[in-house]
Chains A and B, each alone.
Chain A
Amino acid sequence: MMSDRFDSLLGQGLAILFALGLGALVILTVDESPMKVLVTLLNGAFGSPERIAGTLLQTTPILICGIAACISFRGGLFNIGIEGQLFMGGFWATWVGFSFNLPPILHMLLAMSAAVIAGMAWIAIPAFFRARYKTNEVVSTILANYVAVLITSYLTINIFKRSGGQSETPPIFESAYLPELFSFSRLNWGLIIGLALAIGVYLFFTRTSRGYAVTEMGANPKFAEYGGIDIRKQVFLVLIASGAVGGLAGGVEALGVHHRFMEGFAPGFGFDGVIAALLANGNPIGTIFTALFFGALRSGSLLLEVDTTASREIITVIQALIILAVSAQITIRRKASDSTAGERRWKF
């Protein structure tokens, strides 16, 4: 078990190094020094307390989305619709935030609940069809993403648009704000929520009987069924839980960062979360670190265009290379091991 875990960590690490090496070659083609880019990235991400806070601010939604992905992975399911759940969660948290005027904390909690419920509602249909008819959840959740983005955009522009200028909703009341952690940054309690969730989900899967049942369903559904686990019910619940956390990510962005909802509300956080979770092998604790890695890339890239000739799009290139290297590495390892076809395993 230990050596398995070490092997998978080593493999993952080598894949990332390989991707970074390829990224360096790409940087060379635009006549820039890879070393300078790296230093600039690090400086941009961690160069000052403000920058570290900025990195953590980017890390938070990726982490929460990553945990949503971990939950589904552990049950052998792929919720790729986290982006959509995040948009829905963000919009409805905002709606509660500007539509009602309630006491502080209570207002925030209510808005956050709205985000969670919206996330659950948004995955309910794919979850039902997966549980009842084995409809491929990858396809249905991806499709639901587009619908979510367009619906929230429609609601924002046509129904709830703030009077004057921007395509955005009215701001939420301050009573619904998620409190900030420091005076110098928008970094807020969302990060603490994310870290607590990561630990909680990890303990749930490793220490509780429910978590055990989900784990075995993901590892060997026939064994789980034989052991008396109701697969249909559990598939539904796992996807709903994953969607709830996806919605929560939207709530955190809306109440902690933007304090309103607008078009392009969360650029790709849902997808980055899925990748962070994959990179961490579905382990919520590992996802803390992979999310931080992606958060640092995003936040460091802001300085990239100022200080170097490399475009910040280089970050997208590096991310793509990492995905490629990691999936190649997983495929190779799966072929090399004796595991039967279709068997999925998320170790931690």
Chain B
Amino acid sequence: MSVTPATPLAIELKSITKRFGAFVANEDVNLAVESGKIHAIIGENGAGKTTLMNVLFGLLQPDEGEIWIDGEKKSLPNPAAAIAAGIGMVHQHFKLVPSLTVAENVFLGMEIRKGGLIDHAAQIKKTAELSKQFGLQVDPNERVGLLSVGIEQRIEILKVLVRGARIIILDEPTAVLTPQESRELFQTLRGFVAQGMTVIFISHHLEEVMEVSDTVSVLRLGKNVASRPTAELTKSDLVQLMVGRLVSFDRLPRTPTIGKTVLEVEDLWCRDERQLQALRGVSFGVKAGEIVGIAGVAGNGQTELAEVLSGLRPSSHGSLKLNGRTITGLSARDIRAAGVGHVPGDRLVRGVDRNASISMNLLMGRQDQSPWSTHGIINRRYLLEQTQALIKRFDIRTRGPESPAKSLSGGNIQKIVLAREFTGSADCLLIDQPTRGVDIGAQEQIHGEIMRQRDAGKAILLISVQLDELIRLADRILVMFGGTIMGEISGDRVDEEEIGMLMAGVVPEPRPNQVGAA
């Protein structure tokens, strides 16, 4: 433990280990949270943040380890026990009843009663009092269905407060908020600690953590790799801790095959679901026979970039060209037809129909093309032959072409997606997180297949949050931060320090024509 407690500890987790089958979500995690502080927990997606918090809130039982609250060892078999111990949790997804009022939602399940009936007046009064005490502005009489997400979150926080929480866990609270709402939330959190409460704040946003927390713990691959006062750390330090030291510079051998420019992106802008700018003027090009990697901490515009390039999300400004032809604003269908293949990052949602057979999954996108179909009739014999050939070529481990996709492992499902996207007529391939959740053996095969596509002269854009994957495959790496490209690094000369700073939004040395983020 690197923190020596100056103040009493609100929470102490000792050697927490939580396994799901063979997968270890949390491994020997020690965590000390000081009372009256904002303690941030940061880490990449899948680093084990939410699992750890669910253990602390009694939603999951640890396989090993102890939980101490206010200096007392506790067992938390369920959330009720955690609430009784003074812990409250604000989940990422809100659980409110839209047709009830704010006060009714706050007291749902623990209504104040008078003579067998709900005492609405008392509930409204208490809600207003709490709202005033903690600066959480709400109108207790308003119906929740009419309110914005930011106010819904305040109601969730009030629910936690009214249940007597002194230790409040917030799971990625800013993910759904606008910047303005986030600032108001931080104000509230500071108010909490000023009144002696403790806040645990989960995030993967560097700035927020730097801005609001007193202490930060970094989780990586289920382990707590550092717990330090925030003031002692820079953003680049945080990135390095999140991403980890590069253990292997295991670059796949390659011969230069670079040809003419295939994909040209110029000054691309787009918005995300919250209508915030997700891309702010991205420009780059990808040549034939080249793998361009996109690095960055998750949530800095990479997903949106892939969606815009594949026609699934509209851009608000800028132009896209494929082989010199403008494809800006075309539909997903037309972009596909123009020659772009796409391996989506969320493969179980977009990449496959899990209930459909392998052959039906391989048909997607080409069902109208000959010889897959003739005059609108699917050529079943051809489809079956092709499926069998692709199962063999991509080494998809399955019982047969008619097995449903869901009966396969993650790596084999990904091979279905690759088999479909890599065997079309596409000149350009967008590959998003190709090996997320894929076992080592399948990773090897997938990497090998991507290299074969490169050598065959395809222009490849590879998005990954795993730096070692980018170093292994990419000819050059672009680092994204806050919707812009912070810099470019050659794949064979990767400097850890430099890439870490770029990922944190810091430009290593001043360069002309480039704006460093604050």
Contact = CB atoms under 8 A, between A and B. Distances in A.
Contacts of A216: 353, 356, 360, 364
Contacts of A220: 349, 352-355
Nearest to B380: A207
Given A1-B357, A220-B353, A226 B342 contact: yes
Given A207-B377, A209-B367, A226-B344, A338 B360 contact: no
Contacts of B403: 1
A161 interface: no
The 3 closest A-B pairs by CB, nearest first: A228-B333, A209-B367, A227-B364
A162 interface: no
Given A1-B357, A212-B360, A212-B363, A226 B350 contact: yes
B312 A225 contact: yes
A228 to B, nearest CB: 3
Contact of B376 (A1, A4, A210, A227): A210
Contact of B349 (A209, A222, A227, A228): A222
Given A220-B353, A226-B351, A208 B377 contact: yes
A339 interface: yes
A151 B443 CA distance: 64
Interface in A189-232: 207-210, 212-213, 216, 219-220, 222-230
A345 interface: yes
B428 to A, nearest CB: 15
A188 to B, nearest CB: 32
Nearest to B348: A340
22 contacts: A4-B404, A208-B377, A209-B372, A209-B373, A209-B377, A213-B367, A216-B353, A216-B360, A219-B353, A219-B355, A222-B350, A223-B352, A223-B364, A225-B312, A225-B350, A226-B312, A226-B350, A227-B364, A228-B332, A228-B337, A338-B406, A339-B355
B516 interface: no
A222 B337 CA distance: 18
Given A223-B352, A227-B336, 15 more contacts: A1-B402, A207-B378, A208-B376, A208-B378, A212-B378, A220-B352, A223-B350, A223-B351, A226-B312, A226-B350, A227-B364, A228-B331, A228-B336, A228-B337, A228-B365
B353 A226 contact: no
User: Main SS of the interface on chain A?
Assistant: helix
B424 to A, nearest CB: 11
Interface in B360-374: 360, 363-365, 367-368, 372-373
A255 to B, nearest CB: 31
Nearest to A347: B355
Interface string A282-323: 000000000000000000000000000000000000000000
Contacts of B368: 209
Contacts of B333: 228-230
B30 interface: no
Contacts of A343: 355
A169 B357 CA distance: 52
Nearest to A212: B367
A4 B336 CA distance: 33
A224 B331 CA distance: 13
Contact of A219 (B336, B356, B402): B356
A209 B376 contact: yes
Contacts of A207: 377-378, 380
A48 B415 CA distance: 59
A343 B312 CA distance: 20
A309 to B, nearest CB: 46
B453 interface: no
A213 B363 CA distance: 10
Interface in B291-321: 310, 312
A1 B377 CA distance: 22
A230 B368 CA distance: 13
Contacts of A212: 360, 363, 367, 378
A227 B353 CA distance: 11
Nearest to A211: B378
A222 B349 CA distance: 7
Contacts of A1: 357, 402-404
Interface in B380-431: 380, 402-404, 406
Contacts of B312: 225-226
Nearest to B402: A1
Interface string A25-39: 000000000000000
